[in-house]
Structure formats: structure tokens, C-alpha cells
Structure 1
């Protein structure tokens, strides 16, 4: 899969830079075209000559050196790349990227590229777990960077724990998988998916929520990734392990989900709102636990913002997909929602039907489209149902492109 692909390997200053040399050799053996960018700190561990010899290409280490006067080097490299891998990614460079700083060849290139960017962090376990580093990594995930978790083991500093950079063999396989996915039916598409429930706070110990497990939304995210999409999953609180290779944005309340969904909406090609978002929240919340009192307690509720309707009102070229989880008149309500919220597709299901409710591993769905097509599916695993949804979205897009 790597043959003929343009891979930029960005090397930061850490002892794991020696692994980057091994990775360069493996990429060249896989017949990839490799260009290496080094920070000044990286050159303290491995010389540029090592990477030049292994990659058979000049090494980029100074944004002010322009060997070809007809080109701006960092823009040229940014445009050349099919994919960029930062390995090792240090706490310093992660912080720069999270804050949009561009003061060297590496950071200017990363801010200028439109290629997918993978980060393979490597640092002391305590650094990795520092709140600032965790916050910066979270920001980068929300911005679309794909963070490759390292492994646990003995670290060069003498500590034992998580912080080792992923092995060159694993990173090579990751890039192979990346290019394999570019042949999927959603290759090149930016897909945003919402999943799970929301929690609407009453006081520090109480909240309103619903029975959504997030399984359907997570399954759709996995199916979209397998079909080549770059996936951002905006998730309410769930007990599901985050899928590899998917950008996870964690939220709690309906307002947080609205803000994150709209934040990612403008650059999405496809938006699938599978989350069970609260329609109402307490009008008044309490900073301290409300003590038990004699008599009844009435909580006044107010409407939350309708995320799907807002998206429908603001969409331009996005394909917008909604869900209608109903307990009666399922098809009637789904058709009404399809029209009133300006959707392209809607996935309807009867939550009272056996095998189709919340928390289960199966679903029974009917998919209706704006161009008046309808498909009814039997009882399926949520993984299979997710694949059907992705296939129907791709078919709908193909029909629209033929018009």
C-alpha cells in the first residue's frame, strides 16, 4: 500500500529519534517516497546525515533555507505529502501545535499541510500524564490530528510506564492501513458523528439522562473509518472503549454537544447525528447537593438547542443524517423529521421492538432518503446495521452526483 506514496516523517528531540531512523529504512524498503523534517533538538540525538542516507532525500531542518528559489520549502513539502507522521512527538512540539505556533520547519509545514497528520508521542510517563500535555493532546484530537498511543515499558529516564513511542513495525502497519482505507467508498470524506447520551446537571450528584449506550454511533464511526473516511466522533458519556484511528471529542451536556457539533460542522462532508440528546434540561442548577426536604420537589425544565435542526438550517454541501428513535408511528414521524429538519437521510427504528432498543447489540432499522427511497432492514447486529447505513449514504451521494 505504501509503494509510491509520499510520506513526510517529522522527527522531534527525544531518545526515540533512533526508532525514527529504523522507520525511515522500513518505509524506503516498502517503496514509499520519504522526506524527513528534523527539529534542532532532534539533531542532538541523530544527525541529519543518517536520515539523508536512509531516505535518499535531503533533510529539512531550517525553514529559512530555500535550496530551490522557485519554491517555498515548507509549503512545497506540505503540498507534496500524502501523509505526515510525527515520530517521536515531544511534549514541546505537541504544545506548539495545540496552540498554532509555527517557529521552525516542522511546525510551519504542519500548519500548512492538508494531509492527514499522525502523532506518535514519546516522553516520560509523568510528562505524558501532566494535565497540560493531556489537555494539548485532547485539543489536537479535536483539531483532527490522529494520536497513536505508545506502549508501556522501561523508559530511557529509568521510569517504567506508558510513554514509549510505538514501534517502527507498528507505525509502518498503521501507514499501510491508512492507505488501504483510501480505497473505501468514503475515501477522502470528513465524517462527523455524534453518539451516546447527554447528562443534564441538577446538582453535583444528580442529573437527567437517557438509556442510550452509544453502541450504534460507535459502530457507525467504525464502519465509516473502515470505508476510508476521516472520522470525528463527538461522544456523550459511555462505557465503550474509543475506537483506534478515530478522533474522539468527549462531551457531557446537550449544550457541549451542540457547541462541538457546530464547531466541526463547517468542515464536514457528512454529519451523522446518532446521539440521544436531551430535549430538556433543568432551568435551575445547584452548586451544592440539594438536601432532602419534606414534601415534593418539582424541577422546572427548559428546552435545549435542537442540534439537528440548526445544522439543517445552516448546511451548505454537507450530507446530513438523522435518527428517529420512536415508540409509535415510526415511519410517519421519521418522514416528518426528514423534511422539517432538512435532512438527506434518516434512520428510523422502533425502540419498543424486540432487539431494537437502547443498550442492546442489535437493531432493526428503516432508512429513508430525501430523494424518496426507502430500505427496510431485518434484525441485524449494530455493526452490520452501521455498514448498511454507510452503504446507503454512499449510494445517496452517488445518485446526487449523477444529477
Structure 2
């Protein structure tokens, strides 16, 4: 058996989050949704971003400057004509400082000012003077959002290059139900991750399989496993953050689709394989991350109606499912690289990697699931690429996914 050379990699403290070290200027506009701005600040700081805030006069009625100062570590700017700050034309320096300008929330009035190039307060002046990419998260009454004038301003700002984080449907502060709710702070952060990520995988097409499969005995009973899908979904998110076009094929799991990822839901191993082959026929894929915990077998018979307890019998006849990695390897539309995963309770790295290579995988990832990684929030794994072995320690599954993709880079050349 081939001798493997072990190289241990430590997890970075910052999780290599796309927003780590990014300078973000948050403009808080005059909407009641301004009360959510402290949560936006908190989440961005947790990602390692540097924050400065500009608070409009109307916004200060909903959130105090002291709150934003405590969370951001910087006193928010409020006054365009503050003598001490503007002696050195500070609004221009402030406009040049950020990597991105986030206006959240921005009101109908704020959209009108930006679209028309008006600059009559600090926020609108900085927005007009800044060359940084602009992320606009509107919040207002549904009628205001749908008004033709507002939509003209939105269309103009899109043409001018602004990136919109569109408002969500729901119950508004006025009690009406419709579009106009500020996007959730976590969703706003997701948009920034995609926009400000490294983009070094732009142009790559990545296919990811995730979650368990459900091999039905009848409509309520099945052969399945404890996989939650979290690791596969995290891999899809990490690839999207790096600019790849990502398609996710997910077995039964209740997880939100990562932003920027196209999702296909399946149930059984046969359905997963058929979906993957159909997707591969549609274009040349650079990478297949075969992370799904696919059932090895299925019942020989699946009943259309629920079986009574006495009808189940004492034994179950089953048949082997097709091996997805091996089938994809033999496909005329084989991706350029196949990365296969093995879940083991007492892993023999060399044997597990050899098993995956025999199926046609270019890279093997071996997970030790003896400590509850399957279905949990954390995971550790060992990557085998040729004779190079990289051990990634226990960490949050999204952090692990980012580290794993970095470790894969030399294997994809």
C-alpha cells in the first residue's frame, strides 16, 4: 500500500471568513427598521470586519449613537457640518475609507437622493463621494416600495451599479402585510460575503451533493442515516463565497439554501444519481464534491401505502444502490476533479482513501464520525490528494469547509 506523507494544518482563528479585515461603512437611514442596525453591526464585527457608522438625524430617533458606538468600537458620525471633524474635510476621508458602503436601512427618501445625486446631509454626501461598491437594503411601507417613483429610482441605481438587498415580504411596522421589510441582518451579511469574497474561483462550476437519502419501505418508514446535510451545505456556501457557480443536490434535510447556490432536492439514492447525471449533461463541471451520505442499500419492495405493524415481517430484503462516485467517474460528462467523502467510526486513512480512489475519486476526504460529527455542528477530516495528506482539526462546519477548499487548491491545478 502506498505510504502517505502527513501534513497537519491548524484551523485559522478567524475561520478565513470573507469579511475578515474588510472595512465597511454602515449608513443608517430614517426607517423604523433602523432598530435592526445594531444587530447588523454585531454580526459584521463577529465576521472580523472593521465598522464605521453614519447615523442620519431621522435614524437617531430609532437607535442611539451610544448603542452603535458600543458595538462598532467607533463613535458614529452624524453631522456634515461638525466643526471639529470637517476642519480636515473628514467626510471625504470617510468616503475613501471603506471597501464597501452598506446603506441599511435606506428609506424611499434615501433612494431618491442617491438616484438624483443629491447630497444634503452626511450620509448622502458620503455616498455620493465614495467610489466603494454600494449595497442598498431598502425598508419602507409596501405602497412606498411599489410606487412608480421609487421603482424608477431603484432601476436608475441598479444601472449605476448599486447592489440591492431587496426587502422581504411580511408584517410591517404599520401592521400591513407585504414587501418592504428590511432583509434579515444575517441575510444582509450573506450578501456582503458573496460580494466581498476573494472571487478566486470565479468561472469554476462546482457540483455538491449533501445530506442523507431516504430509501422508502412505505410512505412513513425508510432506510436512512443521521446525516444533517450541514457539511455539504457549508461546502456549497464556501465555494459560492469564492465566486464559483455552485449547484447543490440535497437529500431530505431542513436547511436554508445558501445565497448564490442553485438547489435541487431529491429523496432516494437513485433519484440523486439521476439528478446529478442530468446536471452534468448540461455543462462542463470543474469539481464534484460528493459529500452526501448515500444509503448503500434500498428495500427490494417499496409499498405505496403504510404497512400495518403485523405486515412488516421479521426481516427486510434489500438491494444494493448504485455507487454515485463510481458512476459519475464512468460518465462521459465526468467533472475534471471528483472529491469523495468517507465517514468512518475508526478510520484507517490509507484504506479509506484507497477505497475512494478505486471508485474513481481524485481526492479522498475521510471523516472520523466516532465523536458525533454526523448530524452535529462541528467536524474534522483528513484530506488525501496523491501522497499528500492534510489533517484539518475539529471546528465549525463552515470554517472547516473554507479550510478544506483552501487545502484542495493544489489538487485542482
TM-score bracket, shorter-length normalisation: 0.5 to 0.7
Deviation (angstroms), 1:365: 1.2
Which residue is equivalent to 2:300?
283
1:348 to 366, 370, 377: 366
Q: Is the 8 A contact 1:350 1:357 kept in 2?
A: yes
2:111, 2:150 within 8 Å by CA — same for their partners in 1?
Answer: no
* Partner residue, 1:242: 257
Structure 2 CA distance for partners of 1:242 and 1:52, relative to 1, 3 Å: closer
1:255 aligns with 2:270: yes
Does 2:389 correspond to 1:374?
A: yes
Structure 1 segment 4-19 matched on structure 2, within 5 A:
none
Q: Structure 2 CA distance, aligned partners of 1:163 and 1:217? A: 32
User: What is the correspondence of 1:34-183 to structure 2 with a 5 Å cutoff?
Assistant: 45=148, 150-153=168-171, 160-161=176-177, 163-164=179-180, 178-181=194-197, 183=198
Question: Contact 1:28/1:55 (CA < 8 Å) preserved in 2?
Answer: no
Distance 2:208 2:399 in 1: 17
Three-state SS of the structure 1 residue aligned to 2:313 is coil
- Is 1:395 equivalent to 2:410 in the alignment? yes
TM-score, normalisation: structure 2: 0.56
Listed one character per residue, the Cα deviations across residues 79-109 of structure 1 (whole Å, up to 9, x for unaligned) are xxxx998x9xxxxxxxxxxxxxxxxxxxxxx
Report if the CA contact (8 A) 2:210-2:233 is conserved: yes
The alpha carbon displacement at 1:240 in A equals: 2.9
Extract unaligned runs of 5+ from structure 2: 1-21, 23-107, 117-123, 134-146
Matches within 5 A, 1:174-253: 178-181=194-197, 183-253=198-268
The number of residues matched between the two structures is: 287
Q: Normalising to structure 1: TM-score of the pair?
A: 0.58
Higher RCO, Cα 8 Å, sep 6+: 2
Contact between 1:365 and 1:378, CA under 8 Å: does it hold in 2? yes
Q: Distance in 2 between matches of 1:186 and 1:192?
A: 13
1:55–1:260 distance in 2 versus 1, CA, 3 Å: closer
* Closer, same or farther: CA 160–376 of 1 in aligned 2, 3 Å: same
Answering whether residue 327 of structure 2 is matched by residue 310 of structure 1, we say yes
Distance in 2, matches of 1:337 and 1:249, equals 28
Coordinate RMSD, CA, aligned: 4.3
**Runs (5+) with no aligned partner, structure 1:** 2-16, 34-43, 58-82, 88-119, 121-147
Q: Deviations over 1:336-383 (max 9, x none)?
A: 23321222211102322xx353122222311001x3211123333323
| CA displacement, residues 242-271 of structure 1 (integer Å, 9 cap, x when unaligned) | 333322222221122112222223442211
Q: Distance in 1 between matches of 2:291 and 2:159?
A: 48
1:250-296 Cα shifts (integer Å, max 9, x gaps): 22211221122222234422110111011111111111111232793
